[in-house]
Structure 1
């Protein structure tokens, strides 16, 4: 019996009580009860506070309503006992066979176990990373690369339609400075004031010259344009390769320059003017964002006629809206707190609900203990260096373990250690152990054909089944709250439950002992654990190894 099936059973009992006239409730007052694992295992397999929720409306006290429910639940198929505790909690203990059926449910569901419909109907655009194409990805981009991709996976697993998008800031003076920096390095000169430094610029210059041997013979303006475009293409290719190595995938790569080239920026200004939010002052064009809690109005077009970055932001937001994304999630760095109010105000000016149609998440800084700065890129730690030094799995898992709004320091050497003190190793080892147990069972001739869930009658079986049953709700809750760390912490608890179960029960017989139905039942439970660990790790973009 899954937690969802138990919740449905409790609701049916409530409806029976209502139909019998035992409480002053209408059928429409009966909710879908929430069931949870009791903090203390001896209190039962599952607990619900539904009697405490409904007692006042039912015209009775919580304990009286809980006792009424307990009497009927205790007689239901699959329920061993239902007891009232405290002010009106209902603790439920399942029969071994009913509890054990969860293992079959998980194995049959496979990769779909944990998927749910909590966010069905949500159509979301999620923009994250969006690093400038003027240099390599570095530690400042790493947190949202890991968490953004994990959030995409979580939201999809909870029924949402999600498009991950990378906004390429490839317009403006920064790109000309980038081209000029490459050209200077190609000529053996110093980078101009405000340009880009680091050995990667010299590397790009060498590649550009290899493509265009005539670069230094071109007129200055043309040479800068050629260096800019070739360097941009090469740098974006490296960014894509680095993200792929980090197991991060984008469906859309959206170019800022295309907004300008296609007239979208001018169209956005005109559209917002039609809606009454644009005004002219001092020769400039402004958006009146102070009408929507922003601290000041924002310039969209300067007095000299050049659009601001905010104008491009407005055009980009309207593009997302026009593409049918009712939900727009922005994942921004720690230095972008000032963007929250202006983006929400922009949403309001565009006719959206800032509490429903836009969400801005801010990630705090990440540092790395003991890491050397990149000689190639200058005074930064490159993401590709982190991958080479620590590995994708340890970095991604560790970033997923903590809320995005908490500062974090990665200890690279500790993350490389293969011991049980390393959380990613601890969880991955649990998965590898389940696979090894399955291989050993096959060598001992343990069959899978006849599964008797009633043979899962050891207290450790019940504890492990209880942990497995929580997974779908953990996924849904993490998706609703935008908190992947809940999945990571759940996986560590599940790994602990598995390791304890493994030490207390037998999947394969000892010595010459015969194989019995208990071994088969525990092989199913082992395989169910394999599946949940793999599904959870996949939500975090982390591999589930077969051997370690």
Structure 2
């Protein structure tokens, strides 16, 4: 990881903290990192927490802690330490790319699933409006992917209301809180969305779901017809096309007898960043009831993969090497994340488009 890569990684962590609502500041255009000074720890340091503290209305050490939380699994970092009034100190690692790729491939489509919300029970009120139904269904899946018990009241949902049941404790609610006991809340947590039609007949399942889930719940759904066009302006097409490109790269690699295996460092900062962010994005989407975060993250992952794909296999008379095997493994990991994210949204990942 170069100083420029590290600067982008820290900037990305700040942006995620702002998107999550943990920090209320204007994201700076760039973040300066420099070699750690004598007496410091690690190899590089940044004073970004001190810079943001005043506008955030927090102490610099609090801001540094929020940023540090979002850097713990960042590829290329062995450790992050907070020193003094709030300096962030970074220790780099040379094998982080290998570990990330192996972690993704070992977990498969379940990469990013975890237990952060284990012990939490969430039930959603019964809804009939088409978009609310799709969003609620998707949020239930997101919550379960993070270890929560979640479901919708009524019907044959396994967490449906039974005689004598009371609404489950919500995320962030302490035992004894009365949040779920207010008038009108006894039927479960409500999903609030701007209404939209689930037009499967005209769009098919994939485009119909993307039109409702890609837009933030309070925004109007995406127009349906453009989602059927095979064009780079179509976000759904880009994501599914990127996945199909990975499948073709793996087929062509097999023909060239190139087996995916991460053996040497690959210069693909944006793609590594997208893969490393995936678990955090899934957790934030579950906590905020916001499937659109997953959709936007898939777009970023797809764009990074499409920019990287041309370097994966040998060109012309170039002989296959460890670099190609490593790039192919990284591409396979990206495809795994795309497939897993689409699955969370209830959208298919085709091998060919």
TM-score, scaled to structure 1: 0.47
Q: Which has the higher helix share?
A: 1
Superposed, 1:59-98 pairs within 5 Å as 88=86, 90=88, 92=90, 94-98=92-96
User: Looking at CA atoms only, which structure, 1 or 2, has the larger radius of gyration?
Assistant: 1
CA distance in 2, matches of 1:523, 1:38: 34
Q: Can you list the C-alpha shifts for 1:442-484, whole angstroms capped at 9, x where unaligned?
A: 1111023x531xx2232xx222111110010111111111111
Question: Which residue of structure 1 lines up, in the alignment, with residue 270 of structure 2?
Answer: 463
Question: Which residue of structure 1 lines up, in the alignment, with residue 182 of structure 2?
Answer: 344
Q: CA deviation at 1:152?
A: 1.1
Question: Which residue of structure 1 lines up, in the alignment, with residue 122 of structure 2?
Answer: 124
Q: Is the alpha carbon distance of 1:343 and 1:48 closer, same or farther for their aligned partners in structure 2, counting shifts above 3 Å?
A: farther
Q: Can you list the C-alpha shifts for 1:143-166, whole angstroms capped at 9, x where unaligned?
A: 112211110110011111123344
SS in 1 for 2:147: coil
Question: Which residue of structure 2 lines up, in the alignment, with residue 520 of structure 1?
Answer: 325
Alignment partner of 1:251 out of 144, 157, 162: 157
Structure 1 residue runs of 4 or more that deviate by more than 4 Å after TM superposition: 37-44, 46-53, 78-84
CA distance in 2, matches of 1:102, 1:466: 10
CA distance in 2, matches of 1:39, 1:80: 25
1:360 has 2:172 as partner: no
Q: CA deviation at 1:489?
A: 0.7
Alignment partner of 1:147 out of 132, 135, 149: 135
SS in 2 for 1:390: helix
SS in 1 for 2:319: coil
Question: Which residue of structure 2 lines up, in the alignment, with residue 437 of structure 1?
Answer: 249
Alignment partner of 1:451 out of 262, 272, 276: 262
CA distance in 2, matches of 1:545, 1:41: 39
1:492 has 2:299 as partner: yes
1:157 has 2:145 as partner: yes
CA distance in 2, matches of 1:464, 1:93: 21
Question: Which residue of structure 2 lines up, in the alignment, with residue 388 of structure 1?
Answer: 201
Q: CA deviation at 1:52?
A: 5.4
Question: Which residue of structure 2 lines up, in the alignment, with residue 418 of structure 1?
Answer: 230
TM-score, scaled to structure 2: 0.70
Question: Which residue of structure 2 lines up, in the alignment, with residue 547 of structure 1?
Answer: 352
Whether the 8 Å CA contact 1:96–1:457 is kept in 2: the answer is no
SS in 2 for 1:124: strand
Q: CA deviation at 1:436?
A: 1.0
Q: CA deviation at 1:104?
A: 0.9
How many residues align structurally? 296
Q: Can you list the C-alpha shifts for 1:316-338, whole angstroms capped at 9, x where unaligned?
A: xxx55834652479xxxxxxxxx
Which consecutive residues of structure 2, in runs of 5 or more, have no partner in the other structure?
Answer: 2-22, 35-43, 54-58, 65-75, 172-178
Question: Which residue of structure 2 lines up, in the alignment, with residue 301 of structure 1?
Answer: none
CA distance in 2, matches of 1:359, 1:49: 41
Q: Is the alpha carbon distance of 1:163 and 1:79 closer, same or farther for their aligned partners in structure 2, counting shifts above 3 Å?
A: closer
Q: CA deviation at 1:542?
A: 0.7
Question: What's the RMSD between the two structures over aligned residues?
Answer: 4.2
Whether the 8 Å CA contact 2:31–2:48 is kept in 1: the answer is no
Whether the 8 Å CA contact 1:154–1:479 is kept in 2: the answer is yes
Q: Is the alpha carbon distance of 1:160 and 1:390 closer, same or farther for their aligned partners in structure 2, counting shifts above 3 Å?
A: same
